[in-house]
Chains A and B, each alone.
Chain A
Amino acid sequence: MEARNNHPTLLDHLRRQGVSRRDFLNWCAYTASILALPPSASQAIAQALATKPRPSVIWLSVQECTGCSESILRSFEPTLESLMFDQFSLDYHHVLQAAAGNAAEQARDRAIEQNFGKYVLVVDGGIPLDRDGYYSTTGGKSGRDLVCEAAKGAALIIAVGTCATYGGIPAASPNPTGAGGVHDALRELIDNKDVAAPIINVPGCPPVPEVMTGVVVYFLTYGKPPDLDNLGRPIPFFGRTVHDDCPRLPFFNQGLFAKSFDDEGAQKGYCLKDLGCKGPTTFNACTTVKWNQKTSFPMFSGHGCLGCAQPKFWDREGGFYGKLF
């Protein structure tokens, strides 16, 4: 990616804003660590970000609850404000942007035009695939058309949240609006080679914020997505189950299970399997990256894992309180 439109590079920009090189390098090191990269990678991240202009990010929301946007606002390392003011240019995001109506639509269209082939497209929410798209419109256009239009010029597409990745709650049985994920909406365009950008799935309801920001930083550094598994998920974050790293695992191994939400076992931190925990079958980073500045994560606060990063978790037989085994 070369500097374009005479925009300064990221490091120029940071210097102008009084960010020290040391702070910048510390941030790169942290990002490398949560991506499970070797320490040497922090140098690569620093090198890449320091020499590139701030890339354009276009965020489209379709059948969303805004939980994914709220989640990324909680990102602590890096913070969303450091990303959107210092690392990339958030050119369309209908929750945060100042412009409304036509002015907002123009900002999006201009960002697509000026950065064609280079921008990152982020999508949250399910996408109604049915009925001419009238179950979700913005500016009179269907959500599906908007996503398809923006996907053609993207360098990378990130589906955030279980709705944009696999359909999520709108696609739960009986899927009243015919909702699907980004892959479903783009299938035809991908088959016809009209969309070439890689698609990263970052599931979770919502995803862990540092997982979303970490994926963006990886792409900015290496110009390609991290290694993805067969469900399109970045392996550094989705390579292990939340059970594998759960602090209650020793109790599981001893066969000690809480039987009620406030019994003695619950107060001692026993395993939540008998209260319906779906941790053993759920791949996510909740127990490693943790939530809200490492304050907690669902099982630490006493509720079983809902399995919210897994496809079809809303329709799992037995519901949220049924035992896995």
Chain B
Amino acid sequence: MASSSKKAGEKPTAAAKNAPASQPRRIVVDPVTRIEGHLRIEAETDAQGVITRASSSGTMVRGIELILKGRDPRDAWAFTQRFCGVCTVVHSIASIRAVEYALGYVIPENAQYIRNLMIAAQYVHDHVMHFYHLHALDWVDVVSALKADPAATSKLQVSLSPWPNNSPAYFGAVQQKLKGFVESGQLGIFANGYWGHPEYKLPPEVNLLAIAHYLEALAWQRDVVKIHAIFGGKNPHPNFVVGGVPCAISASSHATAVNGENLRLIGEVIDKMRQFVDQVYLPDTLAIAGFYKDWATRGEGVGNFLSYGEFPTGVGAAERATLQFPAGVIINRDLSKIQPVDFEDPTEIQEFVAHSWYSYSAGKQVGLHPYDGETKLEYTGPKPPYEQLDVDQSYSWIKSPRWKGLPVEVGPLARVLILYASGDVRTRGLVDHSLGRLGLPISALFSTLGRIAARTIETKLIADMMPGMYDALMANIARGDLRTFDDVLFDPTTWPKKARGVGMMEAPRGALAHWLTIEEGRIGNYQAVVPSTWNAGPHDAAGREGPYEAALRGHKLQDSSRPLEILRTIHSFDPCLACAVHVVDPNGEELVRVRVL
């Protein structure tokens, strides 16, 4: 593995101390747009414009876990689903798995297949939209596309893939549309972008190609979510149920949405998804990455990676044993060793609040396992409106989760590394092929560009798994097995007086788990530790940075008034802030004084 200047466990503040004596400059990016939620980045730079210290702050809190206390655990999926309307499936799945785990509730096979199809559709949808609609404009200069020769773009498209929208006339029409838009003087969502920034390196032809696909992906995504609509009734926020899935199968009539016609439609949508990934997303990623190879040595983060695993083919006891994406931890970029994760061990997964706007009864220095999760809102930041946060004190509504005391990165890069380290043949083939095409070593994965490549690679892995998931469901239906739900434990009077459980899943943005306790049929405590909490959390009690913060340190900004470099690396993580900030003390009701206006 490539050597690195930043080792796991290194105290990041050392870098700040080494900064030149001259007053460091503070760069603030708030709002970080093209993400879900409210994220603020404050970065200190030295005289050369190099970031010496970065601070990541979540600036919005709702307190959904406090709202959950005392409610029916079967309702929790709908509440937690509203953590986030982008990754709309994942918190429901984590929640129903937690309740099922607590009760020893085994779901029918068909329910597992349907959940897998919904999770997989979420991944492919999310990753493609992230690439084109949330991340592309950091690399693609919209204004430059006006200068492109549509014939050259056409030639490029033909060389990349058999995607049918490839004629000079097609790209000419896209360019004309863009031109009309720019000439109207009303730039709308493109207003005030950092267009013309020297860090934009794509030729006009590639910019035009990417803008065409930005628009195509907007239309494509509407079809992908039909899978959620058929099984869950709508997207965003499809419906789920503890004990299975709520959609009864009407194989021989049109009585419900899961009928013969719509099952065929799902097959067609899967084909359409795979075609877009193979012919547009994957080739675009490689084509664009080729112009930004300098980003294969920047933005590497903390060097530790965690995945909980996903896509179980079995049910009950077989669930965790049949994960198609493995669980595990990689420490300090050592791909020779995957360590196991224990969700119940109180010393493994802990959350810290040393620099978060919460307090713990045992003081701000300790870490707590989610079963014992304790959080009290304690805002100590400046009164809005404010210019700057005091980053030596508490500065975020996000906590700092740690695995055995270490910060870890979660998400596509973590999953691909763990698949790669576990010897997964398809992953190895795709990674080696992609890096080979770019002429980059395996160490290039530990970077901003590596994170982007890993997201694309896993999208292809998952899209290619979907026909197998679909066939398994269809084979069961053909055999006459229409079971989608088991009502044996649905009635809370059948439950033990006390129970507790954890629901693990891999969300598109990374490792996600919900822990809950059930008392007399009601929620006692509910704690969620989510992907963007792992990645976006602030410094911990030991002074270790969170992954965003570590990844930004060392970035040189060409123009501090237009900090495009910060956006590139932060967006490469695909932040989802409403998820990250949701925690409130289940016992803290009396702390909150609501002033009624």
Contact = CB atoms under 8 A, between A and B. Distances in A.
Interface stretch (A44-52, A227-235, A291-299): A291-299
B194 interface: yes
17 contacts: A73-B221, A85-B181, A94-B31, A103-B194, A134-B379, A136-B59, A137-B386, A142-B384, A169-B64, A262-B244, A262-B249, A262-B482, A286-B234, A295-B230, A301-B231, A302-B248, A303-B247
Contacts of B29: 100-101
B191 A95 contact: no
A145 B595 CA distance: 17
Contacts of A180: 597
B21 interface: no
B589 A174 contact: yes
Contact of A95 (B34, B63, B190, B249): B34
Contacts of A319: 71-72, 74-75
Contact of A65 (B31, B40, B85, B563): B85
Contact of A100 (B34, B37, B184): B34
Interface stretch (B160-168, B336-344, B483-491): B483-491
Given A66-B85, A129-B597, A302-B247, A99 B33 contact: yes
A300 interface: yes
A121 to B, nearest CB: 15
Interface stretch (A194-202, A218-226, A264-272): A264-272
A107 B191 contact: yes
Interface in A56-85: 56, 62-71, 73-74, 76, 79-81, 84-85
Contact of B384 (A145, A174, A299): A145
Contacts of B487: 260-261
A320 interface: yes
Interface in A206-263: 206, 258, 260-263
B193 A321 contact: no
B253 interface: yes
B250 A267 contact: yes
Contacts of B215: 81
B188 A74 contact: no
Nearest to A179: B62
Nearest to B265: A295
Interface stretch (A1-9, A22-30, A34-42): A1-9
Task: Indicate the member of A62, A106, A169, A303 with the most B CB atoms within 10 Å.
Answer: A303
A6 B185 contact: yes
Interface string B211-240: 000010011011101101111111111111
Interface string A78-116: 011100110001110111111111111111000000000
A296 B234 CA distance: 7
Contacts of B405: none
Contact of A97 (B189, B386, B490): B189
A104 B137 CA distance: 14
Q: Which 8 A-B residue pairings sit nearest by Cβ, starting from the closest? A: A67-B85, A269-B255, A176-B63, A98-B193, A298-B233, A303-B239, A301-B233, A266-B248
Interface of A: 5-8, 13, 16-18, 53-54, 56, 62-71, 73-74, 76, 79-81, 84-85, 89-91, 93-107, 126, 129-143, 145, 169-170, 172-180, 184, 187-188, 205-206, 258, 260-263, 266-269, 286, 291-293, 295-303, 306, 308, 314, 319-321
A18 B83 CA distance: 41
Interface in B70-90: 71-72, 74-75, 78-79, 82-86, 88
A137 B485 contact: no
B27 to A, nearest CB: 9
Contact of A177 (B28, B59, B63, B490): B63
Interface string B542-584: 0000000000000000000111000100000000001000001
B387 interface: yes
A140 B386 contact: yes
A292 B222 contact: yes
A130 B559 CA distance: 38
Contacts of B439: none
Nearest to B385: A141
B496 interface: no
Contacts of A74: 221-222, 225, 235-236
